[in-house]
Amino acid sequence: MSSADEVREYFGETVAMYFAFLGYYTFFLAVPAVLGVFTNLYVSNENRDVSIVLFCVFNLVWATIFLESWKRKTAELAYRWGTINTEQFEEPRAAFYGELGKDPVTGRLQPQYSAYRRMLKFYGVSVPVMLVALVIAWYVMLFYFYLEDYVKPMYKDDKSLYGTVLSLLPTIVYAVSVLVLNAIYRPLAVALNHWENHRLQSAHDNYLITKLVVFNFANCFMSLFYTAFYLQDMELLHNVRLEFFLPFYHL
């Protein structure tokens, strides 16, 4: 009996599938982890740019293989656990509110809330707030590049500890700014999602994930894409890696 089967016996299929994914994902991460360590430690500086490009291509192929392999694994687990064709009736969330009315399916008195009002809140308020947050993240990123261009020439030839710290100051400031923006946006997204008043827990979670993923992805990784594909500055891309790892660790 596998560990996923043991978790299923105690917690049920939903929790067991989650831990099965964690174990499967961790197992698949071994190959890119080893390859990444080898690339950073043993590849010479002359071939580093080529190795980074090849490593990125490898990650794309690896992600595709992992997703397809995980689909097969989930089908195998669902078949073994007898849940491959089952459907669950989802009750309204405990925090869902509205005027009491007769449910057309169950016939019971349940809170009723207009889908039109919910969509109006999402598209009229939540989406504009998300766009404003993305614009703020964009200008913070531009300020980082401005600061980088201003500080870098001043301490380019200074090999002292003082000069090294000051040359990295724009990257450190940007990394902290990304963490601060994430910390501010997350409770705002949670509050907006609760205010939208989604009836089902699945819908509530999906809309919250959309709000968080869109902003976090843009806020944390926008500078990497901008540097790699627009500026095409590999040296600057190496400096931005610090900004990449700190927010990723925070998430």
- Boundaries of every domain in the chain: 3-81, 113-250
Per DSSP, 106 falls in state T
Report the distance separating Cα 70 and Cα 51, nearest Å. 28
* AA identity, residue 41: L
Report the distance separating Cα 222 and Cα 98, nearest Å. 39
Report the distance separating Cα 205 and Cα 193, nearest Å. 9
Share of the chain above pLDDT 90, in %: 32
pTM exceeds cut of 0.85: no
89: confidence class by pLDDT, cuts 50, 70, 90: low
Span 185-240, pLDDT tens digits? 999 999 999 999 998 888 999 999 999 999 988 888 888 788 777 777 776 666 55
Closest residue by Cα to residue 99 from 200, 197, 208? 197
